[in-house]
Amino acid sequence: MRRSKVENISAQTAAIKDYLLQNPYCEEEDLLNNLKISKNTLYRILLGLADDVTVYENDRELKIMRKGSRLTRDDIVKYLEENLYERSLFKKTERLLYLYNLLHSRIPYGGAEMELILKHYKEIMSNYGEELPAESSIKRMIYRDINELEEMGIVINRPSKENRKYALKEVYLPKLPPESAAAVYTSMLLYDNTLLEPVIAAARLELEKSFVRNKKVSHYAENIKNRIYVVGDTLASPERFGDILGKLIKAVTENIKIKIVYMHRDGTEGERWLEPLGMVCKRSVWYLLARKSGKKNSEVRVYRVDQIKSIYLREREVFTYPEDFCLHEYIKASWGIYCNDPVQKVVIKFSPEVAFRLKTIKYHPSQKILTEYADGSLLVEYEVCGLIEMQSWLMQWGENAEVISPESLRIALQERAQKILEKYNG
């Protein structure tokens, strides 16, 4: 019986939180009418959600309006004090719910220490007008309630030498308001027909379901699909690479050695035993950074994920991740993905016709505008390596970009332009 009561209160609590997530600062009367609960039930539940940012704006004020004014914690306590005949002591069913809500709200912080749980119990018991028993008695009550939750199938990690907190064995996934969910859903469209499409398909389906369930935003998913279109390079067979990407992510995050069959530019294939160190996505292309298996000082090499034909995870063989390797430090100076040449300063002059782009878009973290000329043109500096990849980017600007230095890059572009000219002149 107690389990059914807890589940009933839990369902009401979830309904209140979901309603406030969709309708923050709503009128109390609207909330009561829409959820079909009594004021007494609402206030008793709100009292136990003091640590929930979905419900409370701060320690005192809630995200609920009452006749134009913000509902406060003091209002709730006063109402319960004036309606003693409707109120009873802090019952076990409500304690279990409040304990669960407290532990759930503390998931992002690794759980709650006994001192915090004890403080929470004392506050609620005081608000219910109860005479506080000895602290040792309250602690025994908490221990019994924790055992009760576990008997209901809720797994709770107990304090250890490393961690003094009680924690729900759940993964923290923040709830999103409709606008944020729509933005996330829209961003997923970027990955249609790419390596990530098979991986995110399930997540996108869940978002679509949530839109359908919420009548106020049920049009979001359909309108987004019909009115927003993403143009970009795509794979001919994205489904073939989805499994490869998933296995790579597992290997990278869990330090698992892998064997891959890799297709080279000339069409030949070769096997590689690797220790994956990281993955990078640049300009819609995914790359794997890895070193040869068993060779601690071997050079870090780059592999295009869409050129990996197959992958095998040696799950029983894990490697020690090198302490001196930092993916962000390794890649930050590169123009693209390759770091096989020294970092050097590159100075480029951009015409007035494209100057606004350089002011609004940072094409590399090192981008710095050195001079803005009277005609509107810009002198821009980069400090990068991987200049062979930068050449392709510079060619896209045509006559609107001129390399000032280094001279080697200027000559390389001249040679490429000459070859293109010869090709078209026959």
Contact 277, 321 (CB under 8 A): yes
Question: Is there a single domain that holds both residue 216 and residue 265?
Answer: no
pLDDT value at residue 5: 54
Query: CA 364 to CA 242: how far, in whole Å?
Result: 29
241/306 Cα distance (integer angstroms):
7
Q: Domain for residue 338, yes or no?
A: no
Beta bridge partners of 312: 259
Q: Provide the token pair at 206.
A: 């869940």
Q: In terms of residue numbers, what domain contains 409?
A: 344-425
Contact 108, 78 (CB under 8 A): no
Q: Please indicate, yes or no, whether residues 408 and 260 belong to a single structural domain of this protein.
A: no
Residue 233 within a domain: no
Domain match, 59 and 134 both? yes
Q: Given the DSSP bridges, would you call strands 269-282 and 256-263 parallel, antiparallel or unpaired?
A: antiparallel
Q: 301: domain CATH number?
A: 2.30.30
pLDDT at position 299 is 84
Burial class (CB in 10 A: 0-12, 13-18, 19+), 16: buried
- The whole-number pLDDT of residue 277 equals 92
Residues 28 and 157 in one domain: yes
Name the nearest CA neighbour of 112 among 158, 152, 47.
Answer: 158
- Amino acid, res. 249: I
> Both 136 and 8 in a single domain?
yes
- Check: CB of residue 220 under 8 Å from CB of residue 213: no
Distance CA 82, CA 85 (A): 9
Q: Is the dihedral of CA 294, 316, 252, 160 positive or negative?
A: negative
Q: Is 7 found in the same domain as 39?
A: yes
Q: Report, in this order, helix, strand and coil percent for the chain, each rounded to 5.
A: 50, 20, 30
Whether residue 6 is found in the same domain as residue 132: yes
Do 294 and 416 lie in one domain? The reply is no
> Whats the size of the chain, residue-wise?
426
Contact assessment for residue 339 and residue 386, using Cβ atoms and an 8 Å cutoff: yes
Residues 6+ apart with CB under 8 A from 242: 195, 196, 197, 198, 199
Cα 44 to Cα 109: distance, rounded to the nearest angstrom: 26
Note whether 404 and 316 are same-domain residues: no
Question: 288 and 244 in one domain?
Answer: yes
Q: Where are the extended beta strands (E) located within 188-268? A: 256-263
Q: How remote is the C-alpha of 296 from its chain's centroid? A: 32
Give the span between the Cα atoms of 45 and 13, in whole angstroms: 7
360 in a structural domain: yes
Residues 276 and 366 reside in one and the same domain? no
pLDDT tens sequence for the chain (426 residues) = 445 555 666 678 888 888 888 788 899 999 998 888 888 888 878 877 776 777 888 878 999 998 888 999 888 888 877 775 344 445 666 677 778 878 877 777 788 899 999 988 887 777 666 677 888 888 988 998 888 888 777 788 888 877 789 988 765 455 666 666 666 666 666 666 665 666 666 666 666 666 555 555 556 566 666 666 555 566 556 566 667 877 888 888 889 999 999 998 888 889 999 999 998 887 777 889 999 887 767 788 999 988 998 899 887 888 889 888 888 888 888 988 888 788 999 999 999 999 999 999 999 999 999 999 999 999 999 999 989 889 999 999 999 999 999 999 999 999 999 999 999 887
